[in-house]
Structure 1
Amino acid sequence: MSTKWKVEEVDTCESTFIIARKLPAWTIVSCNQQTKGRGRFNRHWFGEPGGLWASYNLPIDPKSPRLWGLLPLVAGVAIIDALRPYAIKGLRLRWPNDVLVDKRKLAGILVERPSATMASIGIGVNVFNNVAALDGLTSDSPTRLADLIVGCPSVKKLRTIIADNIAENFNYFLEGGLDAIASKLESAWGESRPVVAITDTDRVCGFFVGVESDGSPILRRPDGSTRTVPGITVNRMKELI
């Protein structure tokens, strides 16, 4: 693992965010069981033993506060990169913060900004945990890494692989913004799918074809035109198939 990172391990906690926000950048907080984890819009995140439940703290420039909002995409690319050597069929990123295998959810990402100079990337990956118990309790059917590959890495090894890929892609991002990882993002989305982007005032339908440099989703309309939906306004983007 990159020498930048330091690791704090606990057995059980309410949320790794609670611990991580008190620690410096380049710290990873991980636990075996998370009792009050949460996802986007405060949805409950189940963090049972056997999964990777961790927060990765990164430094951010207080003069560029909006950049931290792009970190879910940076982290998504990092997870895809970390798992790419295992050749998982159907592995893909779903805007803005989920890693799926076909239509089943493998991992989720949530980013907090506990201070002006630090962001904390919360990552949950189903590895060996009992995902069968989650069927019907989550909006997406779950899957786990142990069922997808032979020779599944340990949770600690996966934590390290993801840490190294976060550091690498974060450095690219600092140097060139989202454009620096644009080709990785393009391949991470997988095939174009019909979606509806839901905002407070609108429902925009189209085929998801990628993102702008500010992370906003681009949809291709039935007439062939494209429309960018400002990412900050999107409450949910739902895949239609």
Structure 2
Amino acid sequence: MTAASRPVPATAPSPLDIDTLRTHLGPDADAFALDLRAECDSTNSVLIQRAPADDGRVPVVACELQTAGRGRRGRQWQAWSGASLTFSAMWRFPVGAPVPAGLSLVAGIAVATVLENAGVAGVELKWPNDIQVHGRKLGGILVELASARQVAAVVGIGLNLSLPGEASIPGRSDVTALDQVIDELPSREALLADLLRVQRSLFDTYANSGFAAFQGAWNQRNAYADLPVRLIGETDSLEGICLGVDVDGALRLQTDTGLRRVLAGDVSLRAAG
């Protein structure tokens, strides 16, 4: 049986277990303040509204079911209890660190690194916040500032582990799940531990060196490298050849009128045509 034809398990996985998660985190467990919930409106919102005190740990909220999960541009993030991994972490940066520019791109590299280490082939990054495998969306990232001084940001990540039923998602043939692209699905605790650990390492480098340290890694996984794309904004659109990202995370487009740089804003990137 191929990975793509593997059926969705008949029973949902057990709820996330904090002791198992701490075991997978090992010596890094004390670096995180873990909050695992059965249900919440949005893991990002929980952290932003609660504004945890800075005790030296990274606050983390993971939830089995989000009732008002959000993506970029106000879109709803669809997730299913037991079939997704949805979590947010609040990362604090020193004054002067390059936040938020490039942060969602570094988070994407962290997710890609964990997936690749788990044996997933064909991981791609779609600017500025989507995780794809062979052109189909596996997950997304939402970064929101959590401090007026812009030294703290909440990074929310959602990954599809399986899709619900035979119908999957009506009208969304461009969506995939981890159990369709990997031979052996890791436990959610192991996956979450790896994602937290790798993010922590990469964000430390980001705070010290900026996005330039990650430009090559992101461009190697660029889903639309050298392809025609269309950027759709609230009032206009822009077409060009996708040349990857610049040293500050801006998207580089070769248009009919010359090279254009686009910083992550309220835009959507799609294949042209």
TM-score, normalised to structure 2, is: 0.78
SS of corresponding position for 1:96:
coil
- Tell me the matched-pair count: 237
Quick check: 1:99 aligned with 2:126? no
Q: Which amino acid aligns with 1:54?
A: F
Shift in Å, 1:201:
5.8
Shift in Å, 1:134:
5.2
Summarize deviations over 1:121-144 as a string: whole Å, max 9, x none: 010000135275552365x72111
Counterpart position of 1:5:
32
Structure (1 or 2) with the greater strand fraction: 1
**Matching residue within 192, 211, 216 for 1:159:** 192
**Matching residue within 211, 227, 238 for 2:259:** 227
**Matching residue within 167, 170, 173 for 1:136:** 170
Gaps of 5+ in 1: none
Once residues 233 and 15 of structure 1 are traced to their aligned partners in structure 2, the CA distance between those partners, rounded to angstroms, is: 21
Q: Which amino acid aligns with 1:119?
A: A
SS of corresponding position for 1:88:
coil
**Matching residue within 221, 224, 242 for 1:208:** 242
Relative to structure 1, the CA distance from residue 233 to residue 163 in structure 2 (aligned partners, 3 Å threshold; closer, same or farther) is closer
Q: Which amino acid aligns with 1:125?
A: L
Q: How does 1:49-68 map to 2 (within 5 A)?
A: 49=81, 50-64=83-97, 67-68=99-100
Relative to structure 1, the CA distance from residue 15 to residue 82 in structure 2 (aligned partners, 3 Å threshold; closer, same or farther) is same
Relative to structure 1, the CA distance from residue 164 to residue 30 in structure 2 (aligned partners, 3 Å threshold; closer, same or farther) is same
Structure exhibiting the larger radius of gyration computed from Cα positions: 2
Q: Which amino acid aligns with 1:220?
A: Q
More displaced stretch, 212-221 vs 125-134: 125-134
Q: Is contact 1:218–1:226 with CA below 8 Å preserved after alignment?
A: no
Higher relative contact order (CA 8 A, sep 6+): 2
Q: Is contact 1:216–1:228 with CA below 8 Å preserved after alignment?
A: no
Relative to structure 1, the CA distance from residue 15 to residue 233 in structure 2 (aligned partners, 3 Å threshold; closer, same or farther) is closer
Summarize deviations over 1:208-231 as a string: whole Å, max 9, x none: 121122221112347xx9623331
Summarize deviations over 1:162-188 as a string: whole Å, max 9, x none: 111101111111121001112211212
Gaps of 5+ in 2: 1-24
Counterpart position of 1:185:
218
TM-score, normalised to structure 1, is: 0.88
SS of corresponding position for 2:211:
helix
Once residues 268 and 167 of structure 2 are traced to their aligned partners in structure 1, the CA distance between those partners, rounded to angstroms, is: 25
